[in-house]
Structure 1
Amino acid sequence: MIIVTGAAGFIASNLIKRLNNDGFKHIIAVDKFDNPVKNTNLEGLIIQEKVDRNIFFEWIQKQTAEIEFIFHIGARTDTTEFDKELLFKLNTEYTQKIWNICIEKQIPLIYASSAATYGLGELGYKDDEALIPQLKPLNPYGDSKNEFDIWALKQSQKPFFWAGLKFFNVYGPGEYHKGRMASVILHAHKQIQETGAMKLFRSHNPNYKDGQQMRDFVYVKDVVDVMVWLMHHRKNSGIYNLGSGTARTFLDLVKAVFKSMGKPEKISFIDTPADIRDKYQYFTEADMDKLQKIGYKNPFTPLEEGVQDYVSQIKA
């Protein structure tokens, strides 16, 4: 059995699809399963059992079958959520419980961290574990992820293999339920389809021109490739960046969407919402040396190629 938490979500549902394609059919899907739109991500996938996240720990204690791996992708991922108690419960504490289960039952673990832990990038974007306690996330979501990373590194007991993955700006099919938190590509496709134009956030940082804010956009297929590779590798435990390794501008991204849709470019700028303006990352770029040094050699999908593939799936 392979357990995948956050199963109906964006990244996890893509992971389950890949596992199915690789011949893994005994998938235990853990989630809240209360969002009908989100649940459509699981249609057509082979799943042995669905387990509500609130009874997961009771369920796993009763299992006698061998659990081969846990992918803990589930989390409260809204970067505008300011309920610190809720974020601690769902992101930090829940992951601590899974960690301890993996020690008790000798199960290897991959869990989702986040590039939001890097804050403004004052210390760069290198996944050096010695720097993690010094990071300053810009929001409670980033804090909740960083708190677990710090906790995990301090533990004297650890799963025999574990990896925390700092996801950068992941995009791809299966994110339509995320609303405001969906990738700019999905928002751009919708706006362009409806209005023939796209509005981007204006820069409020004198070091960046409008549209020149840069992020490390990584295609979900590449993210899944890394997770599956680590599942088979099962060596070199630790915390790893997971981005493309190349920062690109939002203008690059939106122009690629226009091109993929066969539409003429029409781009304007609006103020960044006040509630996120002082928490906005103007630049992120994953340093991918650490993952490559342990043997991961697959290339990452160039932005234009990934956008073209994604837009073709949206059209379909």
Structure 2
Amino acid sequence: MIVVTGAVGFIGSQLIEKLNNENFNDIIAVDNFDREDKNKNIAGLKISKRIDRDQFINWLDLNGQKVEFIFHIGAKTDTTLFDVELLTKMNTEYTKSVWKLCIKHQIPLVYASSAATYGLGEFGYDDNEEEIPKLKPLNPYGQSKQDFDVWALEQDKKPLFWVGLKFFNVYGPNEYHKGRMASVVWHAYNQIKNTDAMKLFRSHNPEFKDGEQMRDFVYVKDVVDVCLWLMHHRKDSGIYNLGSGKARTFLDLTKAVFKAMDKPEDISFIDTPEDIRDKYQYFTEANMSKLVSIGYNKKFHTLEEGVDDYISKFLI
């Protein structure tokens, strides 16, 4: 049995499909299955059992000896949510429960951390574990992920193999349900489809021109490739960045979307919403040397390659 939490979500559903493609079909899917629109993400995939996330901890305690590996991808991922109690419960404390049962039943674990833990990047974007306790996230979501990372590093008892993955700006198929939290690629595609134009946030930082704010955009297919490689690798535990390793501008991304849709460019700028303006990251870039140092050598999609694959195969 391989467990995937967040199974009907964006990354989780892509991960199950990848596992199926490698003939791993005894999949335990964990999530809240109440939303029919999200359930279609796993339609047709080979899954042995669906378990509601509220029942999973009890199930795992009773069945842990049958579980070969856990991918704990599920989380509350809304960066605009300010319910600290809920985020702590769902992201920090829930993951602690999974961690402790992985120790009890000797189950290897890969869990989702986030690049949101890096905050403004004042300490850089290196996944050096000695530096992680210094990080200052900009929102409660990032803090809930940071709190678990720090807690995990402090533990004397750890799973026999464990990895926390700091996901950067992931984009790709099955993210349609994420609303405001969906990738800029998704929003650009829909805005261009409906209006033949794209509005980007204006820069409110004199060091960056409009549209030249930069992010590390990583294609979900690369993310799941790394996850499966770690499952096969099962050594060198720790916390790792997972981005493309190359920061690109929002203008680059938007131009790539126009090109993939075969439409002429029409780009303008609007003010960044005030509720996120003071917590807006102007630059993120994953230092990927740590993952490379333990043997991962598969080439990542460029932004243009990923955007073209996503739009041409899944959206148009």
Q: Same fold (TM over 0.5)?
A: yes
Distance 1:277 1:64 in 2: 44
Matched residue, 1:6: 6
Aligned AA (1:163): V
Q: What are the equivalent positions in structure 2 for 1:134-153 lying under 5 Å apart?
A: 134-153=134-153
Q: What are the equivalent positions in structure 2 for 1:1-316 lying under 5 Å apart?
A: 1-63=1-63, 66-316=66-316
Distance 1:63 1:215 in 2: 41
CA contact (8 A) 1:173 1:313 kept: no
Q: Deviations over 1:219-253 (max 9, x none)?
A: 00000000000000000000000000000000000
- SS of the equivalent of 1:130 reads coil
Equivalenced residues, count: 316
- SS of the equivalent of 1:129 reads coil
- SS of the equivalent of 1:164 reads strand
Distance 2:147 2:64 in 1: 32
Distance 1:49 1:293 in 2: 36
Indicate the percent of aligned positions where both proteins have the same amino acid. 69
TM-superposed CA distance for 1:39, in Å, is 1.1
Distance 1:225 1:194 in 2: 33
Aligned AA (2:142): G
Q: Deviations over 1:98-155 (max 9, x none)?
A: 0000000000000000000000000100000011110000000000000000000000
TM-superposed CA distance for 1:65, in Å, is 5.7
Task: Evaluate the alpha carbon distance shift between residue 15 and residue 183 of structure 1 in structure 2; reply closer, same or farther with a 3 A threshold.
Answer: same
CA RMSD of aligned residues (A): 0.8
Aligned AA (2:260): S
- SS of the equivalent of 1:46 reads coil
Aligned AA (1:299): K
- SS of the equivalent of 2:130 reads helix
- SS of the equivalent of 1:62 reads helix
- The structure 1 segments of at least 4 consecutive aligned residues displaced by more than 2 Å after TM superposition are 313-316
TM (normalized to structure 1)? 0.99
The answer for unaligned runs of 5 or more in structure 1 is none
TM (normalized to structure 2)? 0.99
CA contact (8 A) 1:27 1:46 kept: yes
TM-superposed CA distance for 1:60, in Å, is 1.7
